[in-house]
Structure 1
């Protein structure tokens, strides 16, 4: 690419300045153009351009997400109407979507400039929430408000009613999102290479109690029943609607709605499998450290020491 244009999408609260400084130094050396959303102007150095978020997508060759999976999902949603490749830089805790660690960033940008990468397509759920159009790359969830009853909703697929749920939460996920809220609720792990929609009740008390896996062509319709407690709607973990006791959510699967930059798909897959396996271990991080060989523990201890002054 000639004079690559990078749009920066920043974690909303974490200090991203070391990563931004690395990108800015690389951009200066390679005459790349850097931009950020206007509301994040105060968080980046002067050479970075500020613009409205709709222009950020239109004027960027690649979006660079700096944060965790939540930031990455936000970048994908930002570009859903004009799918733009997203490179994820990891500043989170687990990070199933992001691939690049900060020490690897300069090399990753070099490969980006050389076109030495692949694109991983991601599906989303196009949702009509009581008349409002939203998209979810991981999941959309109907969640009860503590102490105010339960989520009570009917399920219809392609217009055919199948039953009802009475539960703490009702999660509809993509295959990628099957490792998130749906997994925590007891839903199945679905290969990201599969096209499917998963509907999973969390702590079901009556009605449908198992996860349902549907084809990508089937349309899901969830409608709150009379007597349902107040229900909040979350999209990729972000609350978009407060407690409602009536209304409906209409959900369609949309393939190829997002593009994720992959530099080493095999290595990324191995990392993700390891992270997923660790979620099932009932151990604290310091307990996991004790399972490591002594020499590796010493190296980790040295790495965690504060730098000399």
Structure 2
């Protein structure tokens, strides 16, 4: 089997040609080989080799995700059976996983090639959805179809029934996913250093009405009740079931399922604090100032000194 240096995972719709060009020119100078999923061969130069999607991670030393957090999650899922380091190049708007901006890419690739980076380990949810095996690094969600009633499911943990939900959606999230759908539904922010699973109902009508935080060693079983509406099943925001009216979802937490490349962990944490401030976390003004680039601090200070109108 032919091995490649880096595999490219591309945002499904955005124009990635500029960033792909940077990587391709870097690879040509360094004598490195690149690969991409066969379905994306028309989006890359001819020097990048197409391989079957299910072989990309296994045949590459590392993956380069070009997009936002959604693309990064796809790269992690692609490598879940053979975890490889994944470097995220940012093209999105609000990213919590992606670290590198395009101008920084050549230097980041040099460090990736020499192993000058740290690995941030990420857990995933291994899910059996109505008989199909899937994985999610953020969350798996059972969502009502508009106009069709409510999601009604029972919750069992390690074989013991806890209760039931009647809601618009039910979200099962990892700590990484706690800032996404679960947070929007009213769930808690969970530190990525914590191992836990969060089950959060959105717009609960009856039954369990608050988030439940469970141990990573417990197995979660959600069973659709006969009176439930047709339910769509989402995995990391992707619909994998359109209208399920019966069946179950079994969820198991898996540690160390993904490897995210970190070049500057402190800078990454600072960026995330700014992003989290957009989610209404109560940062004090002086805390926010310390997170701003140097060139913006004077502007920030001038605005704070303006008298109120």
Query: TM-score scaled by structure 1?
Result: 0.89
Q: Which residue of 2 aligns with 1:279?
A: 279
Give 1:296 shift. 5.0
Deviation at 1:30, TM superposition (A): 0.6
SS in structure 2 opposite 1:121?
Answer: strand
Question: What residue in structure 1 maps to residue 200 of structure 2?
Answer: 200
The Cα of 1:4 is off from its aligned counterpart by: 7.1
1:179-227 deviations in Å (ceiling 9; x for gaps): 1100110100111111100000001111000000000000000011111
CA–CA separation in structure 2 for the residues paired with 1:113 and 1:106: 11
CA–CA distance in structure 2, aligned partners of residues 119 and 296 of structure 1: 31
> How many pairs does the alignment contain?
285
Aligned partner of 1:303 in structure 2 is none
Report what 1:167 is aligned to.
167
Q: CA deviation at 1:59?
A: 1.4
Q: How does 1:1-309 map to 2 (within 5 A)?
A: 5-280=5-280, 296=296
Question: What SS does the corresponding residue of 1:61 show, helix, strand or coil?
Answer: strand
- Please report how far the alpha carbon of residue 54 of structure 1 lies from its aligned counterpart in structure 2 after TM superposition: 2.4
Cα distance between partner residues in 2 of 1:112 and 1:129: 36
Match of 1:57, SS? coil
> Please, what TM-score do these two structures have when normalized by structure 2?
0.89
Asked if the contact 1:4/1:113 (under 8 Å) is kept, the reply is: no
Q: Is the 8 A contact 1:121 1:256 kept in 2?
A: yes
Shift of 1:280: 2.5
Distance 1:56 1:78 in 2: 8
| Separation of aligned partners in 2, 1:125 and 1:18 | 34
Contact 1:165–1:208 under 8 Å retained in 2: yes
Structure 1 residue runs of 4 or more that deviate by more than 6 Å after TM superposition: none
Unaligned runs of 5+ in 1: 282-291, 300-309
SS at match of 2:278: helix
For residue 75 of structure 1, give the secondary structure of its aligned residue in structure 2.
helix
- Give the C-alpha shift of residue 49 in structure 1: 0.6
Contact 1:165–1:201 (8 Å) recurs in 2: yes
SS of the residue aligned with 2:60? coil
1:142–1:171: 8 Å Cα contact kept in structure 2? yes
